[in-house]
Chain A
Amino acid sequence: MIEVVDLYKKFGRQEILKGVNLRIEKGQTFALIGGSGNGKSVLLKHIIGLMKPDKGSIMIGTEDITRLRGRRLRAIKDRLGIVFQFGALFDSLTIYENVAFPLKEKTKLSEAQIKEKVFKELEAVQLLEDRDKYPAQISGGMRKRVALARCLIMNPEIIFFDEPTTGLDPVIAKIIYNTIRSLQEKRRLTALIVSHEIPGIFQIVDRVAMLHGGKIISTGTPEEIQASTNPTVQKFLKGELE
């Protein structure tokens, strides 16, 4: 379970988060939607422990990660997996090396065991043939799938996706959505997907929250959000929000 309580963040004089409250239940696939520049990625970086808030708390299970440091924070991060917006793959490593990287750094598995696991994950995202290529030699969609494989190889309990389909063509976006959906069916992970891809994202999530003006203005199932009477939500869904 993830619970964000009254979260505030300011950069200089610009207030990005102005008291965000959010609750994601275990095993739920949750979408955080909102226009560009509304602080979705900033909120995500707080939840995964990359940023510290000015005020508020973020509970992951029973631990408030805003107050944790060192070993205890690392123990929480070990339970999380993140697929960054542009993949954040190590550009000097091959696809295989990128996926093997967390295992090499964090486990004592033998080279043969690592190879077996990496091959399995690469096969799952249909990139086994491209394992010797470098990130610069593959497409944006492939990079996101490699990032997903790198993230899943450590069996995280909670997985975060930052704009998983932004900038991809509809066919690749559908592949990514299908991968996320089959992942949910097989592993029952808790997932938070940050996106502004409407209505595509509604097909794969259990609940949706909309972030606008530094606050969550609406939460509900995809159907509830689509039927929302909130004028800002309706404007966003119709693509009329500035």
Chain B
Amino acid sequence: MRLLTHNMLASNVRGATTGYPLKLEAAKWVTKEVELNADFIRGLLPKIDWRALVAATRALGLPELLPEEQPPEEEIFAEGAAGVEGSAIRRIHHALLEIHVQEGSLVCPDTSRCFPIDKGIPNMMLHEDEV
């Protein structure tokens, strides 16, 4: 599960108000390099919940990866930025698309219901009495 997916997922358990964002507890994660596509990030960025993304990177023990506040667009998409190692767009790309959480859990912020992540697949199934 990549953090982009985490950014879209919410808990639907009974008693949850928003069920979002799910608190990430990652026991194991890997990174896989993906080619950066600046246009893709540009289209995606307005749909990303920045705070949830930052919280997820911090949960992985990467406090330096993204700043608390989203950098201005001019900065992220400044000409040539995509080619610069460590630039804002590279970091965002890395956070969203290159980190794969393998084992751990997602915890509903409202109910503390825990959804385990096993072999990279979050188990969002609910029991009948939780619907």
A and B bind: no
Residues of B within 8 A of A (CB): none
